[in-house]
Chain A
Amino acid sequence: MARSTPSTRPEVIQSLIDGVDRYNPDNVSILEEYLATQCANKECDAMANLAILKLYQFNAHLTNDQVVNNILVKALTTLPEPDFNLCLYLLNEQMVAEEPVVHLVALQDLIEQARFAEFWRVYEGDDIYKELTSEVVGFEDSIRANIANAVAMTFQSIETENLGSYLHLKGQALSDFVKAQGWSEANGVVSIPVNKDNEAKTTVLTENIKFEQLTKIIGHSNDA
């Protein structure tokens, strides 16, 4: 998966981040608009967003706090990708120690530690989180999709109640979600089909002999 180049990246953005134009402060608005598009269309282009932070890093006066916030929220939706921390490394110490970053880092920690039930408790427990994530359309759904992915990697079957707490869904909404994933539920247990991550099969690595290794031997057979 070459995730560094999303298929939705426009040509103009591509050429901008490939060349020296990425350092030109005049281009920050193009990248910021592109971020707004990503936020509205549930897309994410980490490389382009890092280019915004780079421009802010060099030209502190350009920094737009809302943009920084949205980039970080976007990065939350791509965990466990490393994007969130890669963004933090481009912010200065002061920004990392202040709002909104502190709140977002709190969410990051919960997701990174797979404490999903607690994530939702914290997220629902303070209005600030919905405010911070309001410009990123479908934030909750993206997080939920990633949680579902983590569950599907780990479990072959899981108690419905546990799954519900991870996904922050109940009753019909949960049943619908389970169905949409292609999972099935019976007697309070959700079964997840075997995939390459949750099969946990004991394997024996056998060696592969490359053709190049045999060239000398094949050479010999020619001589004969």
Chain B
Amino acid sequence: MNYDEEIDIASEVDLVVNAYPVQDDGLDEELLAADQTTQQYQEVLIPEVVKNFIMLFHRSVLENNVYELQQIYEHSFNKLTEKFYLNESWPEPEAISPLVNDDQVFLTLYRELFYRHIYSRLTPTMEHRFHSYENYCDLFNYILNSEGPVALELPNQWLWDIIDEFIYQFQSFCNYRNRIKNKTPEELALLRDNSQIWSCYSVLNVLYSLIQKSRITEQLLVSKNGGDMVEAAGEYGSRPLYKMLGYFSIVGLLRVHCLLGDFTLALKMMENIELNKKQALFARVTACHVTTYYYVGFAYMMMRRYADAIKAFSHILTFINRTKQYHSRSYQHDQINKKGDQMYALLAMCVTLCPTRLDENIHSQLKEKYADQSTKLSKADEAMPIFEELFLFACPKFISPNGPNLDEDPEVLNSMTVFEPVQHYTKIFLAEVRNSILLPTLRSYLKLYTTMGNAKLASFLEVEPEQLRTLLMMAKIRSRQIKWVEGTLLEGEYQGTSDLDFCLREDMIHVSEAKVGRRYGDWFLRNINKFQDILGGLELTSKA
């Protein structure tokens, strides 16, 4: 059905509804009678079209009408938000409860959207943060601990957003908890007494439980190595709700571990997911697809596997470019574009640290977005501020797993310097980059010669000959990286990543370059096929 139209028609009525006390229709009267007058005030404020929307929403959840839910979730909800709730929250769950027969499962789902909307459009209070956490607990409890698998079905997009938002709110809470300066003693006491809320262990617990319940690891192994999928999936895992939540939780863990600075563990989470497989599950939801590659690429970059990072970023940026016209209509369009811009920034750094020929499209986009920065990155005296700027812009919002010690005296707390995870990680990363800051200049000189004396190059670079020798050794070491060949994401082989190589015979530098030969294969294949088609065509006409 076309719900959008219904909204438009009803919108004119709403103005009237808002301006005057409502003459409740029969249904509402009954419900209100059951719910007494406390609700009445809020009830009046809910526009008719929103009421209708919520009832349709409720019905679709009851009927497991995934198609309708997708419309509701991706379009109607956002349309109504723009119309009525740009600067205020959606109706309180208690206020809509009479409309949905006090259906607790539906109310939990509604609350998920209710709080998410507050997080994205308004400023959540501590109360909101606590309640939203409790609501997620209710939701996951219902899914994980009901008797047998629940019958609920939700669109994949929503399932992904649930996991994504859960982690986002966790991250947001960690940063909120860190800022103790402007909190009242009451708020600090609340934080102290509720330390389990949004704790690392509770978040990890949810994600791991979803993985275990869905038997997604077993399912992925079967799809990789063959076997009985039904048996592997089991009672829970064969339902899309569990399967997808389990799968998205793996990607969720990839993200959580990156946020906590554990890049090895982050990639280890992905060990059963084949990134290169066509039609991998993560590709079903664009936001998940983009998130996966962003964090995989980022983790690789932090592990100094720049070649692998470049590959991951190039892959997903190409995908974003190609599908621009589809996701430009999506409600997540802005987010995807922002992630894209961040990845171009990361790419600019990776390419400086590991010179690589990029795909032409990606290369021209990179130049368009970061031409100025890219040039500066390769200049020893200008690079550091640019590395810092790009890293701060493009890194995930790191978190510290434990907030400040709230048992301390409030006075002491106030005088403590706040631990800023992002600053901390940036510092370590920059220290590492600083080591290789002279390498691009060295490289540009080496490119000009096939042999040259150590002393001569040292004088070009204005360093001592001994310093140049160490620089050359460092350049050599840095040009070899572990690069993925097959197997899990953490595996790989040492490979040269540079098209420029050199060696030293005492004080003489010998430079060599790897050139790319002409490619004939594609041309011949195309023309052989064309020829065959013509031949086939001729045969057909001669028969006819």
A155–B508 Cα gap in the complex (Å)? 10
Which residues of B are found within 8 Å of A213, using beta-carbon distances?
Answer: 521, 525
Contact of B428 among A23, A88, A158, A214 (CB under 8 A): A88
Which residues of A are found within 8 Å of B402, using beta-carbon distances?
Answer: 58, 60
A115–B520 Cα gap in the complex (Å)? 46
Among the listed stretches A7-15, A27-35, A174-182, A197-205, which one makes contact with chain B, having 4 or more residues with CB under 8 Å of it? A197-205
The number of A-B residue pairs with CB atoms under 8 Å apart is: 154
Task: Please state if A200 and B515 are interface contacts (CB–CB under 8 Å).
Answer: no
Task: Please state if A216 and B529 are interface contacts (CB–CB under 8 Å).
Answer: yes
Interface residues of A in 165-224 (CB under 8 A from B): 189, 197-207, 209, 213-214, 216-217, 220
Contact of B419 among A47, A57, A92 (CB under 8 A): A92
Task: Please state if B477 and A153 are interface contacts (CB–CB under 8 Å).
Answer: yes
B469 at the interface (CB under 8 A from A): yes
Task: Please state if A153 and B480 are interface contacts (CB–CB under 8 Å).
Answer: yes
- Measured between C-beta atoms, what is the minimum distance from B74 to chain A in Å? 34
How does the 8 Å CB contact mask read for B456-488 relative to A, with 1 for contact and 0 for none?
Answer: 000000000010011111101110101000010
Task: Please state if B200 and A85 are interface contacts (CB–CB under 8 Å).
Answer: no
A86–B521 Cα gap in the complex (Å)? 43
Task: Please state if A96 and B424 are interface contacts (CB–CB under 8 Å).
Answer: yes
Nearest A-chain residue to B420, judged by Cβ: A93
Among the listed stretches A70-78, A106-114, A126-134, which one makes contact with chain B, having 4 or more residues with CB under 8 Å of it? A106-114
How does the 8 Å CB contact mask read for B517-544 relative to A, with 1 for contact and 0 for none?
Answer: 1011100010011001000000000000
Among the listed stretches B15-23, B105-113, B117-125, B260-268, which one makes contact with chain A, having 4 or more residues with CB under 8 Å of it? B260-268
Which residues of B are found within 8 Å of A41, using beta-carbon distances?
Answer: none
Most chain B beta-carbon neighbours within 10 Å: one of A46, A117, A206: A206
Which residues of B are found within 8 Å of A217, using beta-carbon distances?
Answer: 525, 528-529, 532
Nearest B-chain residue to A195, judged by Cβ: B503
Task: Please state if B532 and A220 are interface contacts (CB–CB under 8 Å).
Answer: yes
Task: Please state if B304 and A209 are interface contacts (CB–CB under 8 Å).
Answer: no
**B residues near A, CB below 8 A?**
200-201, 204, 208, 260-265, 268, 302-304, 400-402, 419-420, 423-425, 428, 431-432, 435, 466, 469-474, 476-478, 480, 482, 487, 490-494, 496, 501-506, 510-517, 519-521, 525, 528-529, 532
- Listed from nearest, the 9 A-B pairs whose CB atoms lie closest are A89-B261, A114-B473, A200-B503, A114-B474, A202-B512, A200-B512, A209-B521, A114-B470, A82-B304
Q: List 10 A-B contacts (CB under 8 A).
A: A4-B491, A23-B201, A50-B265, A80-B477, A90-B260, A154-B472, A157-B504, A197-B496, A202-B512, A202-B514
